[in-house]
Amino acid sequence: MEDLTTAAALWWAVVASGIYHGINPGMGWPLAVSAALMNQAHAGLYKALLALSAGHLVAMAAVLIPFSAMMILVEWQREIRVGAAILVIGVGVYLLINRRHPRFLSRVPPTRLALWSFLAAMAHGAGLMLVPIYLGICATIDQNAGHSAAAALMATDTSRALMVAFLHTLAMAASGGAVAMGVYYWLGLTFLKKSWFNLDVVWALSLIVVGVIALLIPH
C-alpha cells in the first residue's frame, strides 16, 4: 500500500513538473505567441505549441531512456539514483552561478521551434529534473522473478520512461498553451511588457530541491 501511495505521488510529481515547465517562459510559450502574431493567424499559435511540445518530448525521452537501460543493473539501483540526484543538484548549482542563457539558442531560427524547444530543455536540465522521479517510480515496481530477463526488464522500463516523458510533456503543453492562449487572445503584448516574470533562480533552486529530496527518500 505504501508503494502504491509513493508511486501515485511520484506520478503526480511528473505532472506537476510538466505544468511548471509549461508556465516557465524559458520553455518557449512566448515564442508561440510571437509566431501567431507574426503570421496574423490563430493557426500559427497551435502549430508553434505543437512544435515546442514535440521538441520537449524528444528532449525528455533522450534523457530518460538511457536511465531505463541502466535499470537493468538492478543491484546498482541505489547507486544510480544517488548519482542522478547529485547530477541534478550540480546542474541546479551551476545554473544559480551562471545566469546567462546559452548563446546557441539565439542562433536557432524561429521557424525551427521543435529544435529550439529540444535544445532549450536540454540546456536548462529540464529532463534531468525528471530522472530522480522516474527512478523512484521504477523502485516502486516489483522487479523480481517476473522481470528476471534483462531484455524484458529493459523493455518495461523503456516503456515507462516514454510514459513519463509523454505525461510530463502533455502537462507542459497544456499549461504553456493555456498561458500562451491567454496572452494572445486576451492579455496582449502589454501584459508581457508590464508583467514579465523570470523564473531562472526558481528553476535552478527547484533542480536542487528535487535532487535533495531524491537523496533523502529511503532507497
Q: 120 and 27 in contact (C-beta within 8 Å)?
A: yes
Cell numbers standing for residue 171: 502537462
Which pLDDT value is given to residue 99?
64
Percent of the chain with pLDDT over 90: 15
pTM: 0.75
Which pLDDT value is given to residue 53?
94
Which pLDDT value is given to residue 68?
73
* C-beta atoms surrounding 19 within 10 Å: 16
Considering its fold, how many domains does the chain have in total?
1
Which pLDDT value is given to residue 49?
94
Q: Residue 132 belongs to what domain range?
A: 2-216
- Whether 149 has a pLDDT exceeding 50, the answer reads no
Q: pLDDT, tens digit, for every residue of 191-219?
A: 665 555 556 677 778 888 878 877 776 55
* C-beta atoms surrounding 122 within 10 Å: 19
Which pLDDT value is given to residue 145?
40
Between residues 132 and 104, which one has the greater pLDDT?
132
Q: pLDDT, tens digit, for every residue of 27-79?
A: 888 888 888 888 777 888 999 999 999 999 999 998 888 877 665 555 566 77
Task: Calculate the average pLDDT of the chain.
Answer: 76
Between residues 26 and 114, which one has the greater pLDDT?
114
Q: 139 and 9 in contact (C-beta within 8 Å)?
A: no
Arithmetic mean of pLDDT, 186-193 = 68
Phi-psi region of 218 (alpha: psi -120 to 50; beta: other; left: phi over 0): beta
Arithmetic mean of pLDDT, 87-113 = 73
Arithmetic mean of pLDDT, 144-168 = 64
Give the C-alpha separation, 152 to 158, whole Å.
10
- Whether 161 has a pLDDT exceeding 90, the answer reads no
Between residues 135 and 179, which one has the greater pLDDT?
179
